[in-house]
A and B are shown apart, each in its own frame.
Chain A
Amino acid sequence: MPILHSQFAGQGKTPDGKNVPIPPPACLMQRGPCVQVTITLADQIASELIKRQEPVPAAVSGLALIDTGAISTCIDEDAAKQMQLPIVNVVNLASASHACTKANQYPIKLQIAGIPMFFNSTATGAPLKIQGLIALIGRDLLQHCTLIYNGSIGQISLCI
C-alpha cells in the first residue's frame, strides 16, 4: 500500500533580516497540506489521441492543496487552457459573495509525487494560480485515500 509522508519545513526572516527556521507545525499551518502533483490529459482521451497519432498535451506540475472541504478536485483554469484540455461539462460553482458562476470541467489524470499511482478524474476549473497552486485535491479523490494531518509535528501522510 503506497504511503506518502510529507514533512513540512521552511525559513522566515526576523524583523532585522536574519534567516530563521520556521517550526514545522507553523509551516504546515501556514502553507496547508500541499503535495507536488503532475497533471495530464485523462487516459481515455490521451490513449485515443495516441492511436490517432495526434499530439497529447504536455503535462504540468506544481503544488496541489489537499482540501477536504472541496467536493470536486479543481484545476487551475489557466493551466487547463494552456494544456488545451477539452471541456466535458459546465457546472455551477457556488459563491458566497454573488450568484453561482459557471465553471468548466476537464478530464484529467493526476499523479501525486512520491506515490506510484494516479487518478483519472473530472476536475473543475478555478482561478488557483494566484495562490501558487495548480490544483485542489477534493473529496472525489480523497475517497480513495487515508489522510493523516499531524499538525503537532508538521507532517501529513497520505495512503492509497
Chain B
Amino acid sequence: MSPLEQELEFFAKNKAKWLSVHAGKFVLVKGSELIDVFDTSDAAIAEGARRFGSQSFLVRQINSTDEKIYIPALALGLLYANPA
C-alpha cells in the first residue's frame, strides 16, 4: 500500500461534499476519518502532530482542481544539463 492511500481514497470519496461547505480550507485526515477542518495548513499540521506524533497523516486543501506541482528543471531534466 502506498503512503496515505487510505487517506487519499477517503479524501476523493468526500471531496465534493466538503467542497460545498469548506472550500479553500484544509482537512486533516487519518485513515478513513476526518479529524477536523482548518483555515491554514500550519494549523492542520500542528493538530496532526499533537494527535499522531511522527506518524504520517493527510493535510490537504479542499479545491475543485487537483493539486499539481510543476518544477520545470526537474520535469524537463534540466538540473545541471550541460551542452553536448
Contact = CB atoms under 8 A, between A and B. Distances in A.
A70 B57 CA distance: 25
A96 B60 contact: no
A45 interface: yes
A71 B71 contact: yes
A131 B82 CA distance: 12
A69 B72 CA distance: 6
Nearest to B5: A90
A9 interface: no
Given A44-B42, A48-B49, A96-B76, A86 B56 contact: yes
B54 A90 contact: no
Contacts of B20: none
A54 to B, nearest CB: 6
A70 B53 contact: no
Contacts of B45: 42, 44-45, 88, 107, 122
Given A44-B46, A94-B75, A71 B69 contact: yes
Contacts of A94: 68-71, 75
Contacts of B3: 87, 90, 104
A93 interface: yes
A67 B69 contact: no
A93 B57 contact: no
Given A44-B42, A96-B77, A107-B45, A88 B57 contact: yes
A70 B72 contact: yes
A93 B48 contact: no
B66 to A, nearest CB: 6
Contact of B75 (A86, A95, A107): A95
Nearest to A48: B49
